[in-house]
């Protein structure tokens, strides 16, 4: 499926993830329902990777056959953009490991992962009519 606006497509994941986070509820500095946090983190992480896939395609990075690993993304970014690599590393640690696998529910930690995903996705704006239709 070809997407005319990679930025909007990647952002759709983050927006859907935010909807799941709303369902988690809050209790002080923590989310109440781990299930919704886990789901939201998985969706946001997938959006972050979608954004990178679009960016790699735009930049002409050769496609990898089969399933892509986090090592693949890290390797490509280490040669392309060290700043994005930092966002990926933290987004992976927070969204994929802490929020999705470990069941972490601390709001500010989860929010930092979402911010990293958004920082990566924002790099698509110049290639996506600045996010407009």
Neighbours of 67 (CB within 10 A): 6
Q: Is the pLDDT of residue 113 over 50?
A: yes
Asked whether residue 133 is domain-assigned, the answer is no
Q: Residue 131 has what pLDDT? A: 52
Among 38, 48, 34, CA closest to 101: 38
Integer Cα distance of 44 and 90 in angstroms:
13
pLDDT band at 2 (very low <50, low <70, confident <90, very high): low
pLDDT over 50 at 90, yes or no:
yes
What CATH number has the domain bearing residue 37?
A: 1.20.120.330
Question: What is the C-alpha to C-alpha distance for residues 123 and 125, in angstroms, rounded to an integer?
Answer: 6
Question: Residue 1: pLDDT band by 50, 70, 90 thresholds?
Answer: very low
Domain assignment present for 18: yes
Number of structural domains in the chain: 1
């Amino acid at each position: 499926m070809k997407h005319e606006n990679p930025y909007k497509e990647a952002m759709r994941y983050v927006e859907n993830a935010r909807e799941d986070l709303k369902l988690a509820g809050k209790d002080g500095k923590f989310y109440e329902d781990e299930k919704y946090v886990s789901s939201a983190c998985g969706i946001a992480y997938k959006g972050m990777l979608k954004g990178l896939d679009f960016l790699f395609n735009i930049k002409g990075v050769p496609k990898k056959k089969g399933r892509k690993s986090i090592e693949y993304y890290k390797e490509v970014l280490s040669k392309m953009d060290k700043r994005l690599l930092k966002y990926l590393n933290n987004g992976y640690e927070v969204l994929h490991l802490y929020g999705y696998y470990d069941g972490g529910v601390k709001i500010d930690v989860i929010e930092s992962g979402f911010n990293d995903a958004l920082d990566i996705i924002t790099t698509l704006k110049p290639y996506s009519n600045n996010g407009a239709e």
